[in-house]
Amino acid sequence: MDKLVVEGGHRLEGSVRVCGAKNAVLPVLAASLLTDQSLLIPNAPRLSDVRTMLAVLGELGCATERTEEGAVSVQAPSDLTSHAGWEYVRRMRGSVCILGPLLARTGQAQVSLPGGCVFGVRPIDAHLRGFEALGAKVRIEHGYVVAEAPKGGLRGAELFLGTAFGSTVLGTANVMMAATLAKGRTVIHGAACEPEVEDLGRCLIAMGAKIEGLGSPRVVVEGVESLNGATWNVIPDRIEAGTYLIAGAMTGGRVRVEGCRSEHLSVLTERLRDAHVPLEVGADWLETQEYDPREPAQRPRATDVTTHAYPGFPTDLQAQWMALMTMADGISVITERIYPDRYMHLPELARLGAEIRRQESTAIVRGTNRLSGAPVTASDLRASAALVLAGLVADGETNIHRVYHIDRGYERIEERLRPMGAVIRREKDEEGV
């Protein structure tokens, strides 16, 4: 296993280009199952989650290829297998979105339940209710979701996809994909409005699907006989962009994040402005301006955030925001409304000297002027990103163990940060933790 070693105290300066979005490319890859023609994604990010998804698709009989330039193509066979085992599915919850396309295309699906998640229970009951509304029979058997379409295939229906926490991103993706090949019209109420769901919908339209209302909580899908292949560039990764922007804010450097869609990050840029972080915003770039975050008059102000579904503050930036707040002037309150237990980074940030208390789904952060490097353990993807950010400003060296989590969602993060002046390297982890 690898670790990242970060030497803190270097101001970042320069530009970084954002990759294709992880959470857009995973459902788009699953959409390849809806046709026997080839789906080409020229800007697929080089992430371990993408490799895992390609392995899942390969297991189902798809021909998958990644070119030297980074494009990924997938072609599903006409005699698609409908059984996806535990081996790959367990590695990544995102693979659950093969259920909808498999069910629509083959009339059945047996997909391993993805298993636990470090930041709490992540049920898929809403996905399954959605399939049932389309006429499927669904049961859980020996750790598998077993779903069968009725004779004659799935039927369009009017359904509600909400959960106790609002909408469901992959649930909407799953049911929307299933509905593209169902007979008749499906109206999804309570659909997720995240840009990644809209991007998937646009890709499906490019494949011949009929969909309206994308980006709104009411999505209407008119079923078609079959779909065709397409070439689809996924949207830029707003979470990766936000992470690099926060790196600029924390180190006080001029960091230009290029190739992003700033409208997808409005809530982050607003909160950064509330925190008095100097910032410039263009349509497809964001840039932090040089300032001295340790100088009393310029320190970022403590600024509260509560995570919500889009366009609210994303849960996937909560840990990184907390890293920024550990060095802010004052006390900030961070509330997690999507995953109330997504606080694995909290004790690790505390090891670097951060002062954080937790009360149920709320964390109270008292900003400090000095974080100090320490060995820490990465527990999940976004927690790892938060630890890298904190390491960039902590005195001395921070060793981040179990760093494989970060490769799930950030393309070679150390190679993106280093040209901007970060002192960060990847090493084999001798301690083997």
Binding status of residue 413 toward ligand EPU by CB under 6 A = no
Q: Which is nearer to ligand EPU, 22 or 254 (CB)?
A: 22
Binding status of residue 170 toward ligand EPU by CB under 6 A = yes
Which residue in the set 339, 367, 377, 384 belongs to the binding site for ligand EPU (CB under 6 A)?
339
Question: Which of 207, 235, 291 lies closest to 42, judged by CA?
Answer: 235
For the bound state, the minimum distance from the C-beta of residue 216 to ligand EPU, rounded and expressed in Å, comes to 16
Residue whose entry in the numeric block shows the structure tokens 């391993």: 112
- Taking residues 361 to 390 in sequence order and writing x for each that binds ligand EPU by CB under 6 A, - otherwise, the string is --------------------xx--------
Binding status of residue 100 toward ligand EPU by CB under 6 A = no
* Catalytic residue check, 117: yes
- C-alpha 99/C-alpha 370 separation (Å) is 48
Q: Which is nearer to ligand EPU, 391 or 409 (CB)?
A: 409
Binding status of residue 26 toward ligand EPU by CB under 6 A = yes
Residues near ligand EPU (CB under 6 A), total: 26
Q: Which is nearer to ligand EPU, 169 or 392 (CB)?
A: 169
CB 111 within 8 A of CB 148: no
Which residue in the set 34, 40, 74, 124 belongs to the binding site for ligand EPU (CB under 6 A)?
124
Binding status of residue 147 toward ligand EPU by CB under 6 A = no
Phi first, then psi, for residue 365 (nearest 5°) are -115, 125
Stretch that binds ligand EPU, among 12-20, 123-131, 139-147, 243-251 (CB under 6 A): 123-131
- Taking residues 232 to 271 in sequence order and writing x for each that binds ligand EPU by CB under 6 A, - otherwise, the string is ----------------------------------------
Binding status of residue 105 toward ligand EPU by CB under 6 A = no
Stretch that binds ligand EPU, among 60-68, 157-165, 247-255, 325-333 (CB under 6 A): 157-165
Q: Which is nearer to ligand EPU, 330 or 340 (CB)?
A: 340
Please pick, among 117, 193, 203, 260, the residue that the annotation labels catalytic.
117
Binding status of residue 45 toward ligand EPU by CB under 6 A = no
Phi first, then psi, for residue 131 (nearest 5°) are -65, -40
Instruction: Give every CB contact of residue 415 below 8 A, 6+ residues apart in sequence.
Output: none
For the bound state, the minimum distance from the C-beta of residue 167 to ligand EPU, rounded and expressed in Å, comes to 6
Stretch that binds ligand EPU, among 71-79, 117-125, 140-148, 240-248 (CB under 6 A): 117-125
Q: Which residues of the shown chain bind ligand EPU in the complex (CB under 6 A)? A: 22-23, 26, 93-94, 122-127, 163-165, 168-171, 192, 315-316, 338-339, 381-382, 409
- Which residues are the active-site residues? 117
